Structure 1
Amino acid sequence: MKNEQNKRRDFLKNALASATGLVLLPSISQEVVANSTQSKTIVSPYIHKNIAPKIKFSVIGMNHGHIYGQVEAVIRGGGELVSYFAKEADLLSNFAKRYPNAKQASSEAEILEDKSIHLVLSSSIASERAPLGIRVMKHGKDFMSDKPGITTLEQLAEVRKVQKETKRIYSIMFSERFENKATVKAGELVKAGAIGKVIQTIGMGPHRINLASRPAWFFDKKQFGGILCDIGSHQCDQFLFFTGSTKAEVVSSQVANYTHKQYPQFEDFGDMVLRGNEGTGYVRVDWFSPDGLKTWGDGRLTILGTEGYIEIRKNIDIALRDSGNNLYLVNNKETKYIDCNNEVLPYGEQLVNDIVNRTETAMSQEHCFLATELSIKAQKFARNVVV
């Protein structure tokens, strides 16, 4: 039990020092990130003390360190964190140190039955997120999940049904788009017509595995959903967003477990080909980021248009700069590098405003569900590469 708690603690620490730590929280120093799970209290750098919060929100389930990026996004957007709950004592302790002003609830029910709460966030075990989201919506609250927000087609059908009945928001934090400043900038450029009509995206999502810090559920496909359902969902979201596709299908997909045979339910490689009504896409995801890389993954996205292309180097530009948020624009007028570190991340504020105004500015509900459907189908029907 103690070993499992240590794994959870190390998992959260490494998650903070990777996507959540270096990409989502760029203004937090390495020293602060390194101490994030120790006894030192950390004050959020994103609390706008001069702005009255527009909504109150809570957290239920924090099995993945992405929860900290989710919380920070909503705080930036005008949310007030009022309470939290998890089953695991060590996760609760770490969260309490990070957010000492929020209340530790005695149960999930305490949060669900609190009528003052507008939104619930979760990064619980992946397979448990959709059932929780359904309970949240049935209690009249909006829900924001870590990805993957849904792991099976059966869950997706039920989530769609309850969302339609309740008219609540079911949002998934696709952080590789929402919380990467270069990707946000690319969206603005594409909308402005900088590369003409987008006809294809190529998304690369490599990750560092950090085996020793991973909890047991991370290696169980029934719990984490599979590599294409999990980290592949980021890429499905970006494909739909940049091509503008509202209908899409999986042309082909494959998965493999090349080097982690001690975990027979795990996959360390996957790819897929997508076809939408407005463009095509190719996705490759893996768990092979080498230890010599100065970040958790050299994530890249290429957006091909009829009049140019954009390449995003999300977390690092190897051999040139160790920082992320790098964008290269090539079109008929110029070849240009854009440092996007000073761009604004709009997702948190858009989601908060959507909750207040009942709009869909952060992400349409159908887009959220379609991106999820693509990743689940790519996973479910993937050819297994036997090696």
Structure 2
Amino acid sequence: MQNNRREFIRNTFGTAAGIVLANQVATATNPSSAEPTFAEPRIKFAVIGMNHGHIYGQVEAVIRGGGQLVAFYAKEADLLAAFAKRYPNAKQASSEADILNDKSIHLVLSSAIANERAPLGIRVMKSGKDFMSDKPGITTLEQLAEVRKVQKETKRIYSILFSERFENKATVKAGELVKAGAIGRVIQTIGMGPHRISLSTRPAWFFNKEQFGGILCDIASHQFDQFLFFTGSTKAEIVTSQVGNVNHPQYPNFEDFGDVMVKGDKGTGYVRVDWFSPDGLKTWGDGRLTILGTEGYIEIRKNIDIAGKEGGNHLFLVNNKETVHIDCNDVELPFGRLLVDDVVNRTETAMSQEHCFLTSELAIKAQKYAKQLSI
């Protein structure tokens, strides 16, 4: 009987479903592996700039990680009012300087206008605090060079919340499966980032390329992050890229389509991003990621499984043993906790600094050297 049980465990835990089962067993027997809670705040943090709604996801991630939101500031009265209503226990600062000069604050978050984020991050690091930006966190090579320089000098954290990986439970689960060897060695990633444009909700800066950075610098930064993470590449280059404004002539400084081929030292990647998600879709975009390995592949349907299973966080895995669907809705999102760990311990567990900078470099170069598409 004991031998049969050992055989069952060996055979089961060797499959993708078995890896999921093993994680569930670990959670049941080790409560610390479940979503953590903190009796006392681990750090104090603040917000400067909230021009994109992503700031709310950024704040919630750090709160989950044990951070206490203590202050916020923005130049726009309407954005301040909405934020204050959401977080009434935080103090509305009278200026950016009030936050930067407050030595009790450890971390500053921002979703300011995209091309203003890196200069802000530099000021934050020079004030002795760590920084976490919405994507894109850097929009030009000149900004990147200065951010690298100041980060090296100050030894502060410059982080970017690539939410399509860090805030998507199926993508987090895919990382666990790939690490466990479920599909062998990763060869290629294919990242699709379609978005609904919702024209009436967009501010003027959204259509100004100088301010938003361009479609590859902006949206595709998610896909470059995932490419580097899943292939394990630490060096990479853009093979070819193209961008275009194919359907919004009323906004001549806007781009609504772009795609890229990228090559790393441990894999290759393809990226396609666009602003063409139709209104009939039940979510803002049918984001997908395919991870090809030597012994199988994973497809992630991040937000929706069209005409299929309800909700998001769907992971499909095919390897030499099975084809399985994994519901990832109970997976912990660890980024906020790990980032707070890094702030406290001066480590790089959430994301290495070089990974953050290389992701930005790829996105900026793909944008800068892209061919113009006219169709």
1:167 to 149, 155, 161: 155
Identity, % of aligned positions? 81
CA distance in 2, matches of 1:329, 1:317: 14
| Cross-structure match for 2:12 | none
Whether the 8 Å contact between 1:294 and 1:322 is mirrored in structure 2 is: no
Q: SS at the partner of 1:359?
A: coil
Q: Aligned residues, how many?
A: 341
| Cross-structure match for 1:290 | 278
Paired residues for 1:170-181 under 5 Å = 170-181=158-169
Structural RMSD (CA): 1.0
AA of the residue aligned to 1:75: I
AA of the residue aligned to 2:218: D
Paired residues for 1:45-84 under 5 Å = 51-84=39-72
Runs of 5+ in structure 1 lacking a partner? 1-45
1:314 to 299, 302, 305: 302
| Cross-structure match for 1:334 | 322
CA distance in 1, matches of 2:260, 2:276: 17
| Cross-structure match for 2:336 | 348
Query: Cα distance, 1:47 vs. partner?
Result: 11
Paired residues for 1:89-238 under 5 Å = 89-238=77-226
> If the length of structure 2 is used for normalisation, what is the TM-score?
0.90
Whether the 8 Å contact between 1:201 and 1:281 is mirrored in structure 2 is: yes
Q: After alignment, is 166-175 or 50-59 more displaced?
A: 50-59
CA distance in 2, matches of 1:368, 1:322: 33
Listed one character per residue, the Cα deviations across residues 261-285 of structure 1 (whole Å, up to 9, x for unaligned) are: 0000100000000000000000000
Whether the 8 Å contact between 1:47 and 1:75 is mirrored in structure 2 is: no
AA of the residue aligned to 1:87: K
Paired residues for 1:367-382 under 5 Å = 367-382=355-370
Q: SS at the partner of 2:50?
A: coil
Listed one character per residue, the Cα deviations across residues 234-289 of structure 1 (whole Å, up to 9, x for unaligned) are: 00000000000000000000001011000001000000000000000000000000
Q: Which has the larger radius of gyration?
A: 2
Query: Cα distance, 1:386 vs. partner?
Result: 2.2
CA distance in 1, matches of 2:118, 2:36: 29
Whether the 8 Å contact between 1:200 and 1:243 is mirrored in structure 2 is: yes
Q: SS at the partner of 1:183?
A: helix
1:275 to 244, 248, 263: 263
CA distance in 1, matches of 2:75, 2:51: 10
Q: SS at the partner of 1:312?
A: strand
Q: SS at the partner of 1:250?
A: strand
Whether the 8 Å contact between 1:221 and 1:265 is mirrored in structure 2 is: yes
Listed one character per residue, the Cα deviations across residues 305-353 of structure 1 (whole Å, up to 9, x for unaligned) are: 0000000000000001230000001011111000000000000000000
Q: SS at the partner of 2:254?
A: coil
AA of the residue aligned to 2:242: Q
Listed one character per residue, the Cα deviations across residues 175-233 of structure 1 (whole Å, up to 9, x for unaligned) are: 00000000000000000000000000000000000001100000000000000000000
Q: SS at the partner of 2:312?
A: coil
Runs of 5+ in structure 2 lacking a partner? 1-34
Q: SS at the partner of 1:96?
A: helix
| Cross-structure match for 1:361 | 349
CA distance in 2, matches of 1:175, 1:141: 22
| Cross-structure match for 1:385 | 373
AA of the residue aligned to 1:242: F
Query: Cα distance, 1:51 vs. partner?
Result: 1.7
